[in-house]
Amino acid sequence: MGVMSRRVLPVCGNLYCFCPSMRASSRQPVKRYKKLLGEIFPRSQDAEPNDRKIGKLCEYASKNPLRIPKITNYLEQRFYKDLRNVHFGSVKVVLSIYRKLLYSCKEQM
């Protein structure tokens, strides 16, 4: 019992791209706040953060107050990681995001 045909395996091997569980990670949906947070941080340590994106994040957080704990958890983890790795430019960016979030979302926090 349990004999497997060799004809089935090549067909399944060619159809893996249609299977939703085998989808590429780049095709997975990304939460909007994660995308905004990723765009705020500059590529180099000396560059300034993107203030327009910080404003969009604050606007998003004020409209979706249930996302605020997730945003602050991400910022806290990022803060400790950057502090541990001596990336003081990113630490300043995290602090500026916190300041603007506190200013714009007083009622929700």
CA–CA separation, 70 and 36 (whole Å): 13
Please, which pLDDT band fits residue 49 given cuts at 50, 70 and 90?
Answer: confident
User: Residue range 23-32: average pLDDT?
Assistant: 70
Q: What number is the average pLDDT over the span 79-105?
A: 91
List CB contacts of 78: < 8 A, sequence separation 6 or more. Answer: 90, 94
Tell me: pLDDT of 75 over 90: yes
If one compares 22 and 89, the residue with the highest pLDDT of the two is 89
Residue 105 pLDDT greater than 90, yes or no: no
Question: To 10 degrees, what angle do helices 51-63 and 68-84 make?
Answer: 140
Decide if pLDDT at 12 tops 90.
Answer: no
> Among 28, 35, 105, which Cα is nearest to 69's?
105
Q: Across all residues in the chain, what is the average pLDDT?
A: 80
